[in-house]
Chain A
Amino acid sequence: MTPAFEKLQKHLKQLPGLGYRSSERIALHLLVEKPGQLPALVAALEEAARAVRRCARCGNLAEAEHCAICADERRDRSVVCVVEHVPDLVAIERSGAYRGSYHVLHGKLSPIHGVGPDDLNVAALRARIESGEVAELILALSNDVEGEATCHYLTEHLPAGRDVRITRIGFGLPSGGGVLYADSVTLKSALDGRRTYH
Chain B
Amino acid sequence: MRLRKLTLRHFRNVGFAALEFSGRQQFLVGANGQGKTNLLEAAGFLTALRSFRTTENKLLVGHTQHTAAIACELEHERLGETRVTIKLRHDGKELWCDQARVTRLADHLGKFPTVVFSSQDLQLVRGSPAGRRRWLDLTLAAMDPGYFGALQKFSRALAGRNALLKAGRAVDGELGAFEQILAAAAAELIGLRASGLQALGAQLKASYAKLCDDAEPAGLGYEPNFDEPSAEALLARLEAGRERDRQMRTTLVGPHRDDFHFSVRHTAARDFASEGQQRSLVLALRLAQAAWFQEKSGVRPVMLADDVLGELDPARRRRFWAAIDPASQVLATGTALPDGELGAWQIFEVADGAFVEKPARVEAIP
Interface residues of A (CB under 8 A from B): 109-112, 114, 116-117, 144-146, 148-150, 152-153, 156-157, 175
Contact, CB under 8 Å: A153 / B174: yes
Could you pull out 30 A-B pairs where Cβ atoms are within 8 angstroms? A109-B160, A109-B174, A111-B159, A111-B160, A111-B161, A111-B163, A111-B164, A111-B174, A112-B159, A112-B163, A114-B167, A116-B174, A145-B153, A145-B160, A145-B178, A145-B181, A146-B156, A148-B181, A149-B160, A149-B177, A149-B180, A150-B177, A152-B176, A152-B181, A153-B174, A153-B176, A156-B173, A156-B176, A156-B177, A175-B149
Contact, CB under 8 Å: A117 / B173: yes
Contact, CB under 8 Å: A111 / B176: no
Contact, CB under 8 Å: B163 / A153: no
Interface residues of B (CB under 8 A from A): 149, 153, 156-157, 159-161, 163-164, 167, 173-174, 176-178, 180-181
When distances are taken between beta carbons in the complex, the residues of chain A under 8 Å from B161 are 111
Most buried by B among A111, A148, A152, A153: A111
Q: How far is the CB of A122 from chain B (nearest CB, A)?
A: 11
When distances are taken between beta carbons in the complex, the residues of chain B under 8 Å from A157 are 173
When distances are taken between beta carbons in the complex, the residues of chain B under 8 Å from A109 are 160, 174, 177
Q: How far is the CA of A61 from the CA of B160 in the complex (A)?
A: 30
Q: How many A-B residue pairs have CB under 8 A?
A: 50
The majority secondary structure among interface residues of chain B is helix
When distances are taken between beta carbons in the complex, the residues of chain B under 8 Å from A145 are 153, 156-157, 160, 178, 181
Q: Closest 7 interchain pairs by CB?
A: A111-B163, A153-B177, A145-B156, A149-B177, A152-B177, A111-B164, A111-B160
When distances are taken between beta carbons in the complex, the residues of chain B under 8 Å from A110 are 160
Q: How far is the CA of A111 from the CA of B163 in the complex (A)?
A: 6
Q: How far is the CB of B242 from chain A (nearest CB, A)?
A: 15
Q: How far is the CB of A38 from chain B (nearest CB, A)?
A: 35
Q: Which of A111, A144, A146, A148 meets B167, CB within 8 Å?
A: A111
| Closest chain B residue to A116, Cβ basis | B174
Contact, CB under 8 Å: A146 / B176: no
When distances are taken between beta carbons in the complex, the residues of chain B under 8 Å from A111 are 159-161, 163-164, 167, 174, 178
| Closest chain B residue to A155, Cβ basis | B177
Q: Which of B157, B167, B174, B178 meets A117, CB within 8 Å?
A: B174
Q: How far is the CA of A85 from the CA of B163 in the complex (A)?
A: 23
When distances are taken between beta carbons in the complex, the residues of chain A under 8 Å from B177 are 109, 149-150, 152-153, 156
When distances are taken between beta carbons in the complex, the residues of chain A under 8 Å from B156 are 144-146
Most buried by B among A145, A146, A175: A145
Contact, CB under 8 Å: B163 / A149: no
Q: Which of A149, A156, A175 meets B157, CB within 8 Å?
A: A149
